[in-house]
Amino acid sequence: MTGGTPDPEPTVRVRPAATPADLGRAFAIRHAVFVSEQQVPVELERDERDAAARHVLAWFGDVPAGTGRLVAETPGYAGLSPDLGPVAHLGRIAVLVEYRRRGVGALLVVALEDQARRLGLSMVYLGAQVPAVGFYHRLGYQAYGAVFDDAGIDHRHMRRILGPTDGPRPAPLADER
């Protein structure tokens, strides 16, 4: 049949990537974004933290479109106060270029924060590529410290303290610099 109402935008869902097949999908997205698009050396893109990390996949309808991971770090990680306890380190957040600017990245961050809450972690850290600082800031993250290089790309440290629910984002923390 032709004409009629166009199909609605597919639903985006974020799910854990725990099976070998889903992990393969997550790594393929990372390869496309970080290695092919951003020229990060392949030997830096996959690292030893992947084995212990919790990975998620964002499904745009039935297409795996984005991914990210959470690694639990010891108190004091990345210059944060040890009093804040163990740190949920979000990373490898990537959305395939053709699925960007539809809220997939934000849903990935929210899903990883939910994982952090389930693990009892309330301090969240990420190393943001400088052009993406605004994206994370809108999600409640505050930049701190100096710009640093990771895999040839300028980054900022960013952090957020999670509340117990998905309620309003807390006010930004004062910059430490």
Ligand X SMILES: CC(C)(COP(=O)(O)OP(=O)(O)OC[C@H]1O[C@@H](n2cnc3c(N)ncnc32)[C@H](O)[C@@H]1OP(=O)(O)O)[C@@H](O)C(=O)NCCC(=O)NCCS
Give contact residues for ligand X (rule: CB under 6 A): 33, 93-95, 100-106, 128-129, 131-132, 134-135
Question: What is the C-alpha to C-alpha distance for residues 107 and 128, in angstroms, rounded to an integer?
Answer: 16
Shortest Å distance, C-beta 30 to ligand X:
9
Nearer to ligand X, 85 or 135 (CB): 135
Question: What is the C-alpha to C-alpha distance for residues 86 and 134, in angstroms, rounded to an integer?
Answer: 25
Nearer to ligand X, 101 or 177 (CB): 101
Shortest Å distance, C-beta 67 to ligand X:
9
Nearer to ligand X, 93 or 164 (CB): 93
Nearer to ligand X, 4 or 144 (CB): 144
Shortest Å distance, C-beta 92 to ligand X:
8
Shortest Å distance, C-beta 1 to ligand X:
32
State which residue has the least CB distance to ligand X. 105
Nearer to ligand X, 122 or 129 (CB): 129
Shortest Å distance, C-beta 140 to ligand X:
13
Q: Is the dihedral of CA 151, 75, 66, 103 positive or negative?
A: negative
Shortest Å distance, C-beta 129 to ligand X:
4
Nearer to ligand X, 88 or 95 (CB): 95
SS3 letters across the chain: CCCCCCCCCCCEEEEECCCHHHHHHHHHHHHHHHHHHCCCCHHHHCCHHHHCCEEEEEEECCEEEEEEEEEEECCCHHHCCHHHCCEEEEEEEEECHHHCCCCHHHHHHHHHHHHHHHCCCCEEEEEEEHHHHHHHHHCCCEEEEEEEEECCEEEEEEEEECCCCCCCCCCCCCCCC
